[in-house]
Amino acid sequence: MPTRTSPRRLAAVLTAAPLALALAACGGTADAGSPADAAGTTAAASTVTIEDNHGTVEVPVAPERVVALDNRVFETLSSWGVPLVAAPKAVMGDDLWPEYTDDDAVLDVGSHREPNLESIVAAEPDLVIGGMRFASHYDDIVAQNPDATVVELSPRDDEDLADELVRQVEALGRIFDREEDAASLVAAYEQAIADATAAYDGESTVVGLITSGGAISYSAPVAGRSIGTLFPTLGLEPAIEQAAEDTSHGDEISVEAIAAADPDWIIVLDRDGAGVGEGEYRPAAELIGGSEALAGVTAVAQDQVVYLDPDFYLTEDIQAYTALYEQVAQAFADAA
- Residue-wise pLDDT for 229-262, tens only, equals 999 999 999 999 887 776 666 678 999 999 999 9
Q: Determine the 3-state secondary structure of 18 from DSSP.
A: coil
**Domains in the chain: boundaries:** 45-177, 201-335
Identical fold for domains 45-177 and 201-335, yes or no, is: yes
pLDDT above 50: residue 12: no
pLDDT above 80: residue 153: yes
pLDDT at 10: 40
pTM of the model: 0.85
Q: Which residues contact 225 (CB under 8 A, 6 or more apart)?
A: 210, 219, 247, 248, 249, 250, 269
> 253 phi and psi, to 5 degrees?
-155, 145
Helix extents (H) in 41-178: 74-79, 98-101, 118-123, 138-144, 161-175
Is 45-177 a CATH 3.40.50.1980 domain?
A: yes
Q: Which CATH number fits domain 201-335: 3.50.50.60, 3.40.50.10490, 3.40.50.1980, 3.40.50.620?
A: 3.40.50.1980
pLDDT above 90: residue 116: yes
- What's the rounded mean pLDDT across residues 71-92? 97
Report which residue type is found at 2: P
pLDDT above 90: residue 1: no
